[in-house]
Structure 1
Amino acid sequence: MIVHQFDQTNSVLNTFLAEMRDIHIQKDPMRFRRNIERIGEVLAYEVSQSLDYEEAEITTPLGKKKTYLCSDQLVLCSVLRAGLPLHNGLLSFFDGAENAFISAYRHHPNNEDDFEVIVKYFAAPSLDGKILILTDPMLATGKTLENVLKALKGHGTPKQIHIISVIGSKMGVSKVAQVFPRDTQLWIAAVDEGLSSKGYIIPGLGDAGDLSYGVKL
């Protein structure tokens, strides 16, 4: 797997990331969601440079101009619910993409540290020959994306898979590299060192779904 990590270079992306981590600023859900969207927009631009393009001629009011337009068919697939702001950021750049959504959540039996990831809902178009862009803001253990990959198998074979995340753990990145095709590309803002006993990224930022949409039961 090819990993593109962006917090190692100074850019405005690090400002968005810092605000998301800050325990005071992240109390504003609208700002938190918007920062995820903005990181999605930055990463969408980066991904766009890896796609295939073909020559096209555009007619203007004063003449004609040759340019190059993306020739790939894209499918954006987001993990509900935390993936929605990231999905919106990508969709603001890839506005012609098809869309897919999958629900995946952690189930902790008897509130123990160990958990399983349960997938209950999945809606997607055919993936055959298309560029699949999976969005999951927090790549903690890698179990969620592993189960998502299993759910996708009945919808065709993509031309290539890209994964978009905001923060991951080293363990999560390693797990995804083991289970996804070798030519998969991961575009991620930051990779943190560790995981808590419950599988949350340290230092991370907390629960992205709760910070975006409120605490769940």
Structure 2
Amino acid sequence: MVFHFYILGTSHTFKKETISIQMIIHQFDQTNSVLNTFISEIRDVEIQKDSMRFRRNIERIGEVLAYELSRSLDYEAREIQTPLGTKKTFGCKDDLVLCSVLRAGLPLHQGMLNYFDRAENAFISAYRHHPNDDDDFEVIVKYFAAPSLDGKVLVLTDPMLATGKTLENVLNALKSHGTPKQIHILSVIGSKSGIAKVEKVFPSDTQLWIATVDEHLTSKGYIIPGLGDAGDLSYGPKL
């Protein structure tokens, strides 16, 4: 497996013996920045007790990743009128659709929307179902609302990229809404096996923007050390 990390403008390559990865992975915790403070706080069990701060930190991580992602988009020259004259500038010419997995993805979605405020929005519900009350589970997708994706840049936001099954099911659900020009995935924490799963099922030119990557999953598919359940920490426990 070959991970390509683009960290604050510096390219690094980490190699491990398996399959060559085509998907471009942008990981940002390898260089010290304020992003690492946000990551540290969302993991800390004491700070996690403040759900408002947890949501805000996820939102701020979304803002950081949105800025980095914005550098990969297509821009065009424009001339604007100021009170004292005209000025040539550049604006994004891509049409974006931000699609988030409910409910855990909402704070991350808001961070993206703070920067891409003219983007269209899509939402999809996905949850784990354990039919036999054991470690095996399937991801159920029920609610889905999205505009046409034809020719647009699709940004999928899911804070926890654990097994990759959720994003695989989301991708299948999105196929009925057209073919995007480009797909980006934006996550806070991922596992190496989840990333490997995603690169197998998504188009080869997909780009992943992720704050940090952990080594392992539990037998039930939760990231270790991770941070727990992002949805519960943001909005309270569910039945």
TM-score > 0.5 by shorter chain: yes
Q: Distance in 1 between matches of 2:113 and 2:186?
A: 13
Partner of 1:106: 128
The C-alpha deviation readout for 1:88-146, integer Å capped at 9, x for no partner, is 00000000000000000000124211110000010000000000000000000000000
AA matched with 1:118: I
State which of 32, 50, 55 in structure 1 corresponds to 2:72: 50
Superposed structure 1 runs of 4+ greater than 3 Å apart: none
Q: Distance in 2 between matches of 1:171 and 1:26?
A: 26
SS of alignment partner, residue 177 of structure 1 = helix
AA matched with 2:140: I
Partner of 2:26: 4
Partner of 2:15: none
The C-alpha deviation readout for 1:31-66, integer Å capped at 9, x for no partner, is 000000000000000000000000000100000000
State which of 59, 70, 75 in structure 1 corresponds to 2:97: 75
Partner of 1:202: 224
SS of alignment partner, residue 92 of structure 1 = helix
Q: Distance in 2 between matches of 1:31 and 1:42?
A: 16
Q: Distance in 1 between matches of 2:31 and 2:103?
A: 29
Tell whether 2:238 aligns with 1:213: no
For residue 207 of structure 1, report the CA deviation from its aligned partner.
0.4
Q: Distance in 2 between matches of 1:95 and 1:192?
A: 31
Partner of 1:189: 211
How many residues in Structure 1 have an aligned counterpart in Structure 2?
Answer: 217
Tell whether 2:118 aligns with 1:60: no
Aligned identity (percent) is 82
Partner of 2:142: 120
CA RMSD in angstroms comes to 0.5
Which blocks of at least 5 consecutive residues in structure 2 are unaligned?
1-22
SS of alignment partner, residue 126 of structure 1 = coil
Q: Give the TM-score, by structure 2 length.
A: 0.90
Q: Give the TM-score, by structure 1 length.
A: 0.99
Q: Distance in 2 between matches of 1:112 and 1:86?
A: 30
Tell whether 2:156 aligns with 1:156: no
SS of alignment partner, residue 109 of structure 1 = coil
SS of alignment partner, residue 67 of structure 1 = strand
SS of alignment partner, residue 115 of structure 2 = coil
Partner of 1:136: 158
